């Protein structure tokens, strides 16, 4: 975790209003997902609900 000043937060997120910000916490790995893991999880959830899936060749 990185603790940021308001100006450092503004550099990362230019659209952010930092006028009343004291500081910010930045966790670089938060909000990341593995695309293949996500697809597998969605397919598994659909299968559990009775949905069928197929693989199409390009």
Write out pLDDT tens, residues 13-50: 999 999 999 999 999 888 888 999 999 999 999 999 99
In our burial notation (b when 16+ CB lie closer than 10 A, e otherwise), range 29-54 reads: eeeeeeeeeeeeeeeeeeeeeeeeee
Q: In this predicted structure, what is the pLDDT of residue 52?
A: 82
pTM: 0.50
Residue that the structure tokens 């899936």 belong to: 53
Query: Is 70 exceeded by the pLDDT of residue 57?
Result: no
């Amino acid at each position: 975790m990185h603790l940021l000043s308001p100006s450092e937060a503004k550099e990362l997120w230019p659209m952010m209003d930092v006028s009343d910000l004291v500081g910010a916490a930045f966790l670089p790995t938060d909000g990341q997902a593995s695309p293949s893991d996500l697809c597998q999880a969605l397919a598994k959830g659909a299968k559990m609900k009775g949905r069928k899936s197929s693989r199409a060749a390009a």
